[in-house]
Amino acid sequence: MAQKYSHIQQEAYEANMQLPKLNLVLFTFGNVSAADRSLGVFAIKPSGVPYEDLTPEKMVIVDFDGNTVEGILRPSSDTKTHAVLYKHWEKINGIVHTHSTYATAWAQSLRDIPIYGTTHADHNTVDIPCAPPMSDEMIGGNYEYETGFQIMNCFTDKGLSYEEVEMILVGNHAPFTWGKTAAKAVYNSAVLEQIAQMAYITESIKADALRLKDALIKKHYERKHGANSYYGQ
């Protein structure tokens, strides 16, 4: 029976193990999940288990309503946020949550990260959005579930597509990223942290730094994305 999920357990395990390697987590402050849409489930890190103690078998299997399908351990406390996003954003198969230093500091400042250079434009054509803090009712209610909706509402309000922009800051909290695979979602977390650090230093060097101009945003984004992209193999 367990064999049924071993591919996403393996995928989630490997992606989770990248977080400490990429310096994106202290202790257990992060989690990755990997979904199989044909099975309607995802594998996610168990809550509070140190990375060095993880094994593929410990990854918990959860459905898109947040119910545990298989696994002895309790899944990540952020599991419902993952479930909501998988349920409504049908083309993603991996989600990452970290408290990486610079991205979290931007989230704490409640500011979008301005697009200051091509490193940013290689991955996004817009400022990295920062969702506002939730209402006290949402916080006091089904918190992690509502966090998923807060993320989606922010994208709706700003007119963003989750297929183009694969990262967000949750205000006062920390970043979430996603992608077509768990590995891509981890990649996005590392890119976000790098962009966040560079933007912070840029503003320190020049308080009134200018956003990148449209032609350069378009050019760099299209080098790596879309029909005419020519980056990579």
Positions annotated as catalytic residues are 122, 231
Taking alpha carbons only, the member of 203, 195, 159 closest to residue 177 is 195
Helix (H, G, I), strand (E, B) or coil at 39: coil
Q: Interface with its own copies includes 180 (CB under 8 A)? A: no
- Residue 202 CB, nearest distance to its own copies (Å)? 4
Q: Looking at 32, 174, 182, 192, which residue binds its own copies (CB under 8 A)?
A: 174
Q: Interface with its own copies includes 181 (CB under 8 A)? A: no
Q: Interface with its own copies includes 173 (CB under 8 A)? A: yes
- Residue 44 CB, nearest distance to its own copies (Å)? 14
Q: Which residues contact residue 156 at a Cβ distance below 8 angstroms, ignoring those fewer than 6 apart?
A: none
Q: Based on CB atoms, which residue is closest to its own copies, 6 or 202? A: 202
- Residue 112 CB, nearest distance to its own copies (Å)? 11
What span, in angstroms and rounded, lies between the C-alpha atoms of 26 and 229?
36
Q: Which one-letter DSSP state was computed for residue 65?
A: T
Q: Are the C-beta atoms of residues 18 and 186 closer than 8 Å to each other?
A: yes
β-pairing, 130-131 with 167-170? parallel
Query: Interaction with its own copies in 113-152: which residues (CB under 8 A)?
Result: 116-119, 133-134, 136, 139-140, 143
What span, in angstroms and rounded, lies between the C-alpha atoms of 150 and 147?
5
Query: Interaction with its own copies in 84-103: which residues (CB under 8 A)?
Result: 99, 101-102
Phi, psi of 127 (to 5 degrees): -60, 150
Task: List Cα–Cα distances, 211 to 27, 46, 63, 171, 221, in angstroms.
Answer: 35, 40, 41, 21, 15
Total residues interacting with its own copies, rule: CB under 8 A: 60
What span, in angstroms and rounded, lies between the C-alpha atoms of 154 and 168?
9
Q: Interface with its own copies includes 111 (CB under 8 A)? A: yes
Q: Which one-letter DSSP state was computed for residue 231?
A: S
What span, in angstroms and rounded, lies between the C-alpha atoms of 9 and 107?
30
Question: Per-residue x/- mask for its own copies, residues 16 to 55, rule CB under 8 A?
Answer: ----------xx-x----------------xxxx------
- Residue 229 CB, nearest distance to its own copies (Å)? 9
Q: Based on CB atoms, which residue is closest to its own copies, 4 or 145? A: 145
Query: Where along the sequence are the contacts to its own copies (CB under 8 A)?
Result: 26-27, 29, 46-49, 73-74, 77, 99, 101-102, 104-111, 116-119, 133-134, 136, 139-140, 143, 172-174, 187, 190-191, 194, 197-206, 209-210, 212-213, 215-216, 219, 223, 230-233
